[in-house]
Structure 1
């Protein structure tokens, strides 16, 4: 991973925008859509800046001056001198999905975004808002953080009561809180990988990687597969201990290491 994806709260904040014309207008719309306030380069309250200048030398000069003041700078169409890039966005507020290529190809990011748009129902945003409103009830039902996360994982799973790709109404979250089964306790699942190619992962394995607290694996399991796990999951290049750690643990085995 060459960049750290983050979501920045711009609402009510000053954002420097340098440049004129179509490129600058596009960035202005993006900033204002996120609630930011566009200001010029003289502003001293801003911490983020966009440079939308067609001439390369002028763009670099403007970016260097802003960076020297400690601002994070995006330079349109020049990813090699950007501190950050802006992704293609799928908006189901409050759910946002950002697709970035590190500046390699805005067209590719756009194509991926368009594909994702067709998959996500319009009820996704209201579902997220209902879950936010129901936090106190969710905490009352599952008081322990790990148990609560596992309950949500089960609810969000394909076919689950909170499946993000399903259709929901105003009663969905309350019904789930009342009817959901308690999450399964500590467990270890051994997975025989089909190959070292991440494209060969089954849907079940991909889902389990997204839920696991600990991922144990044969030393030869490639990073391309391990990266499919939760970002905060603990990775261990070893067999699991007995008993396994708390929560859900996976043991990934390569074909050559089985048997």
Structure 2
């Protein structure tokens, strides 16, 4: 990973936008959608700047001038000059899915976005807002953090009552909370991995790693695999299996001989 993906709150904040034409217009629409106040004043008090100038020499001059002020720059179609890049975006407010290639290929990012756009339900944002509104009820039903994470993960799983890739009616969260323990995961799952390459993980294996509260792994399971787990997931050697209590979702991981 050579870039850190972040979401920046630009509502009511100034962003410098230099340039005219199609590139500048596209950036203007994007940043205005995010609530930014755009200006072409190079001396404006801003944290970010976008250089969408067609002429190469003029663009390079503008970038160097703005960087001298300590601003972070997005230079359109000039990835080598960029401090940050803008990804292809799937907007299901408040859910945002961003696809970036570090400036390697905007076309590739666009193609991935278009493919994913067809998979993501249009009402995913409604689900997010409803879950947010139900936070206190969820905490009341599952007071312990590990139990709460386990229950939410199970509900959002493929085929679960809140499956993130399925269309839901407005009462989906209410229906789930009326029967909160109907879709909880098993406590212990055994994984027998066939490869030491984390890119070879199945979708199920990657999902379970992201949900696990504890992991007991053989010594031959590489760190690159375990790094796919949550940062707060407890990790133990498999030899300690009988000595440690299990909590929430526990994985026992071995490599295929």
Q: Return the TM-score normalized by structure 1.
A: 0.87
Match of 2:130 in 1: 130
Secondary structure at 1:8 match in 2: coil
Task: Give unmatched runs, 5+ long, in structure 1.
Answer: none
Q: Is the 8 A contact 2:14 2:39 kept in 1?
A: yes
Map 1:9-158; keep pairs closer than 5 Å: 9-158=9-158
Q: Is the 8 A contact 1:188 1:244 kept in 2?
A: no
Gaps of 5+ in 2: none
Q: 1:157 to 1:59 in 2, by over 3 A?
A: same
CA contact 2:42–2:66 (8 Å) conserved in 1 = no
Aligned-residue CA RMSD in angstroms?
A: 2.5
Secondary structure of the 1:115 match is helix
Write the distance in 1 (CA, Å) between the matches of 2:64 and 2:221.
44
Which deviations, in whole Å up to 9, do the C-alpha atoms of 1:62-89 show, x marking residues without a partner?
A: 1222222221111111222211111111
Deviation at 1:219, TM superposition (A): 4.3
The number of equivalent residue pairs is 253
TM-score by length of structure 2 reads 0.87
Cα separation, 2, equivalents of 1:4 and 1:244: 36
Residue 169 (structure 1) aligns with: 169
Alpha-carbon distance in structure 2 between the residues aligned to 1:199 and 1:2 = 18
Distance 1:245 1:78 in 2: 51
Report if aligned partners of 1:79, 1:103 keep a CA contact under 8 Å in 2.
Answer: yes
Partner SS state of residue 50, structure 1:
strand
Q: Which moved more, 1:50-59 or 1:89-98?
A: 50-59
Q: 1:85 to 1:245 in 2, by over 3 A?
A: farther
